Amino acid sequence: MTSEDTPQPTDPADGTPPADGTPPGDGAAAAEVTGPGEGSLSADETRRAAAAEEPVSSKVRGRRTLKSLSARSRGEGWERPQGDLAKYRSQARAALRFVAQRGFFGAVVGSNLTTSKVVHRRVKTVRGPFVLVANHSSHIDAPMLARGLPWAQARFLSTGVAADYFFNVWYRRLFVRIIFNAFPIDRGGSRKHSGTSRKLLRAGVPILVFPEGTRQLDGKMADFKPGAAALAIGVGVPVVPAAIIGAHEAMPKGRSWPKPGRPPVAVVFGEPMISHEDESAVDFSARIRARVKDLYDEHHDEVLGSAVRDEEESA
């Protein structure tokens, strides 16, 4: 399987993020224009009137949607997928995926692993597309992430897989599309599917990226390639960082099935991140990696125990 934080804007009135997801400043602006009385405009009417008088550029609109992860505008305003991309937002396919991924496939995972998850409360407020970024050391990483993410956010989650292996035979292609809503990624210099991940994000489809590029043999986190960060910056979407703990110990690279004894595996979803103003993809990628590493370290001992950490450090 192959595969981006800034503090959220605060309301200048009290220094806290708006509870209802409305971008900061909107309510204050409406209060200045409207007032009590029979002829006053509602906040929505005021905004519509202002929009009609002065067109808003797409760049400014994009920055406004980023002001609040839970704003309704983050769940709307993305391009409607056309052609082959439409199936990635298919409600029927999502329903089938729920049954297969969290029913049948979930039972298989649950019977072979002792699973747990931790989800930051703000992950559940994310609307619209985002980039899910995680460490990668096992074939069970993608299933754990897909099963652990709240369904409202995971419904259309799409995972990139190797086109030359998973998309060249119909039954493998069918499997990864049903389970992972997968899209093809080129290897070996081909550019046949170049730009698919960006098109999916613009069409409102969140994607899963493993920025290490491949599974790590020793389970230790490698450097992150900046591609995921560049995608998030370029399209203007948040990054949800996630750490997978125990997957390497349960099913390291080279094994086709988890070790016996239902070994523990946990996935931890951290607070969504947004790039700083004028932050480079390389710098944003480094911040994302640091966040994933922190999540891993914070929960390592409670999942695997301190004895495993001692073994890792002495290795």
pLDDT digits (tens, 9 = 90+) for 144-176: 999 999 999 999 999 988 888 888 899 999 989
For residue 255, give the amino acid letter.
R
Distance CA 229, CA 203 (A): 18
Which strands sit side by side in the sheet containing 114-119, from one edge to the other?
114-119, 264-269, 239-245, 131-134, 207-209, 158-162, 183-185
Average pLDDT, the chain: 78
Residues of the chain with pLDDT under 70: 1-77, 188-190, 307-315
Distance CA 29, CA 46 (A): 9
Residue with tokens 């929960």: 299
Distance CA 120, CA 270 (A): 5
pLDDT for residue 34:
34
Tokens of 106: 């979930």
For residue 239, give the amino acid letter.
V
- What are residue 160's DSSP bridge partners? 183
Q: How far apart are the first and last CA of the chain?
A: 27
Judge whether 88 and 180 are in contact, CB under 8 Å.
Answer: no
